[in-house]
Structure 1
Amino acid sequence: MRKTRVMFAALLLVLGVTALALTATGTAAKRAVYKAAWIYVGPHNDGGWSQAHNDGRLYVQKALGSKVQTTFKENVPEGPQVCQVIESLIRDGNKIIFATSFGFQTCMASEAKKHPDVYFEQATGTIQLKNMAEYFGAGEDANYLAGIAAGAATKKNTIGLVVAFPIPEVIRHTSAFTLGARTANPNAKVKIVWTNSWFDPAKEKKAAESLVAAGADVLAQNVDSPATGQYAQSKKLPWVGYDSDARKFAPTSWLTAPIYNWGPYYLSRVKAAMAGTWKTSFYYGNLKDGFVKLAPFGPGVSVKTKALIAAKLKALKDGTFYEFAGPLYDQSGKLRVPKGKRLSVKDLYAVNWLVKGVIGSPKG
């Protein structure tokens, strides 16, 4: 009898250990799901910048499936409140955080110092830390190519460009776009209106209206919503978008747009974080690696214009052409880049002047 009791007790012990092991295994499986988060300055479906980043997030989720759990916070204002958003994401267990707007950088840096066990990735920024990387790409090259389409389309030699903030990123994109426009049409001028916002459809539409009133017969943008394009469509004017393929918003006005392919970069960084091989870096993608590109052409882009764009695209890829090679003059006619010199990425990140052909102040 006593022997039976002992055997029964042993059996209970084995079952208990097995149950604990199964519970531990289940818990470990749950822990194995890696959490990654993105922070957007606008809606995830804005038709532009934030949507392009969200497409990149979905690319990661599709590629890694159940191994990863991705999430996002949208419509996050630039400023100190970003710190609160980051803290909440970390409390939720996210181990890598991608911030997708320049104004998020201050909080990203301060939070990176507070949380050395979390990886931080800042788009379009300038600060690198041991656990904080920077990433962007040569959007200026794609803007140059898009500018060719706009320059070829204008009949009044006046293009209206709706721009966000007077920071180096937007300034270099504006200059590149203008250089492209003047490649197709040496008499073209680009008038700019600052909205001082990345995403504000009402302001963007108002800016577009003012540019058309000032004589622009082609519209373009370096802001996030398709409002400029929708206004162009209503006025039957050609339009160059930005960030995403947004032709559905203005199908007959659409020319093209400089766009970004964030997915492969995001996937590589999440994979590295999961494998424990992540290291801080500064990534600057380009046309050659497919990070930046042009969206499909609209019906208003001629065969001749497509050929010119294709030729410049090839030259940019093989290094035989660079839009920011001298001689380059600013709006006042001052020589800024002498013949034989080229602006480096470091120069572009500090540029505070606009090229000849732009009408409007680089100071906003």
Structure 2
Amino acid sequence: MSQFTRRSVLHLSAGLAASALVLCAAASQASAADKILLIINGALGDKSFFDSANRGIEMIKQKYGDKVETRVLEIGDDPTKWEPALLDASEKDWNLIIAGTYSISETLGEVAKQYPDKKYILYDATVPYQEGGFDNVYSIQYKQNEGSYLGGVLAASLLKSGKLPADAGTALGFLGGMDIPVINDFLVGYIAGAQSVSPDVKVAVSYAGSFTDAAKGKELGLAQYRSGVGIGFTAASQAGLGQLSAAKETGKFVLGVDSDQEAIFAESDPAIASQVISSVLKNVDVSLLQAYDLYAEGKLPFGSGKAVGLSEGAVGLVESGNMAKLATPDVLAAVKSAKEKIASGEIRVPTAFGMSTEQVAKLRESVRP
């Protein structure tokens, strides 16, 4: 073999080897799974909000299979542990870190600034994009006031229908986890929906001061029912489970939240399920899957956020189960009409976001039994 030919073969072999390495690297990169971490600043098992987020991760895994690697990390409700957990997660090789709630939003925002190459999804809250430094954060907020409006229409209509037991009570109730804007957004929408049916409706309002204290939730729920509340509405995560227990104990009714709580308790505690007239849905699961779909396509607009509601399927009202049994045709028609008018923009549901503390307090006082 001539020296020229030998050199050509060597160059060709080296070129082929380099090409093979590039192809292998590309194939490896293409086949590498997206690593997704969901951080729960509380605990699973609330049968509402956090469990819905967990379902969202399960939906992503089910749809994308081996293309994703997922993990859920429960870090508890102690705020002093949130920053260390987020910092630790950001040091690892997660491609996407997801966390939610108004309470953790400031902490996540500060951590995200320190790791500009990491990507974060914040749900049920937002960060101050106008201040800059949040180009790696996408936030999802929910128009829970729209779903709660439907809940208010249903609850007030049922009280008015006369189809509930005679001793069911004459007022509505609301149990919030904490007196904060996102929870008061449920309240504001609920009151507006109820007033559209009965302008003089009365609503007893309580806050547990916690999203985990089920005992406190039950205590407040019992107090409401004993004071004449016929249908309570809980927006309190695990603390709200206490109100469900109070409904079971008193034989009164309750409007669940975030997930279909009648269906969730149908087998484990039928006595609770029987008292859940419906649930105002906050479909965290659906919104997380929608966000990841965009992320997988490279289209998720980090550095911005979006508020999602009825039109996106992110909030709603359960219309099967007990609701279908209890609601008269007039009640069903009222809910349907409200839904259509919200979707068309004919009804603009008021929101707690932008309301002052004094304005919220005045609203609560105006409907106090």
Query: Aligned partners of 2:216, 2:152: CA distance in 1, in Å?
Result: 23
1:5 aligned residue: none
Match of 1:261 in 2: 283
Q: Would the aligned equivalents of 1:189 and 1:357 in 2 still touch at CA under 8 Å? A: no
- When the two structures are superposed, what TM-score results if normalisation uses the length of structure 2? 0.79
What letter is aligned with 2:289?
L
When you count helix as a share of all residues, which structure comes out higher? 2
Equivalent in the alignment of 1:314:
340
Q: Which residue does the alignment assign to 2:306?
A: 283
Counting only pairs closer than 5 Å after superposition, residues 284-363 of structure 1 correspond to structure 2 as: 284-297=307-320, 298=322, 299-324=325-350, 348-352=353-357, 353-354=359-360, 358-359=364-365
Task: Answer yes or no: is 1:167 the counterpart of 2:180.
Answer: yes
* Cα distance in structure 2, aligned partners of 1:113 and 1:149: 44
Q: Which moved more, 1:73-82 or 1:285-294?
A: 73-82
| CA–CA distance in structure 2, aligned partners of residues 86 and 27 of structure 1 | 31
In structure 1, what is the Cα distance between the partners aligned to 2:63 and 2:144? 25
Identity %, equivalent residues: 17
**What is the distance in 1 between the residues matched to 2:366 and 2:143?**
23
CA distance in 1, matches of 2:43, 2:289: 22
Which blocks of at least 5 consecutive residues in structure 1 are unaligned? 1-9, 325-342
CA distance in 2: counterparts of 1:237 and 1:75, whole angstroms: 35
How far apart are the structure 2 equivalents of 1:83 and 1:322? 38
Flag the 1:132–1:310 CA change in 2: closer, same or farther, 3 A.
same
Pick from 205, 229, 232 the counterpart of residue 244 of structure 2.
229
Q: How does 1:1-364 map to 2 (within 5 A)?
A: 28=28, 32-77=32-77, 79-127=79-127, 128=129, 129-154=134-159, 156-225=169-238, 226-248=241-263, 249=265, 250-279=272-301, 280-297=303-320, 298=322, 299-324=325-350, 348-352=353-357, 353-354=359-360, 358-359=364-365
User: SS of the residue aligned with 1:217?
Assistant: strand
Distance change in 2, residues 1:143/1:163 (3 Å):
same
Moved more, 191-200 or 258-267: 258-267
Residue 26 of structure 1 deviates from its aligned partner by: 11
Moved more, 68-77 or 49-58: 68-77
Q: 1:61, CA displacement in angstroms?
A: 0.9
In the alignment, is the contact (CA less than 8 A) between 2:126 and 2:141 conserved in 1?
no
Q: How far 1:30 sits from its partner (Å)?
A: 9.5
Distance 1:69 1:271, change over 3 A: same
Residue ranges of structure 2 left out of the alignment (5+ in a row): 1-9, 160-167, 266-271
Distance 1:230 1:86, change over 3 A: same
Distance 2:82 2:173 in 1: 33
Residues 36, 94 of structure 2: 8 Å contact kept: yes
In the aligned structure 1, how far is the partner of 2:51 from the partner of 2:366?
A: 29
Aligned-pair CA distance for 1:68: 0.6
How far apart, in 2, do the equivalents of 1:290 and 1:100 lie?
A: 19
> Is this contact kept in 1: 2:219–2:242, CA < 8 A?
no
Give, in whole Å, the separation in 2 of the partners of 1:356 and 1:316: 25
Aligned residues between the structures? 327
CA RMSD of aligned residues (A): 3.0
Q: 1:126 to 1:30 in 2, by over 3 A?
A: closer
CA gap 1:201/1:112 in 2 versus in 1, 3 angstroms: same
Residues 126-183 of structure 1: per-residue CA shift (max 9 Å, x gap): 3131111221121101101101222133364312211111111222221211121222
* Distance verdict in 2 for CA 1:27–1:74, change over 3 Å: farther
Comparing 191-200 with 273-282, greater Cα deviation is found at 273-282
Question: TM-score, structure 1 length as denominator?
Answer: 0.80
Deviation at 1:27?
9.8
The SS at the match of 1:313 is: helix
Contact 1:36 1:71 in 2 (8 A): yes
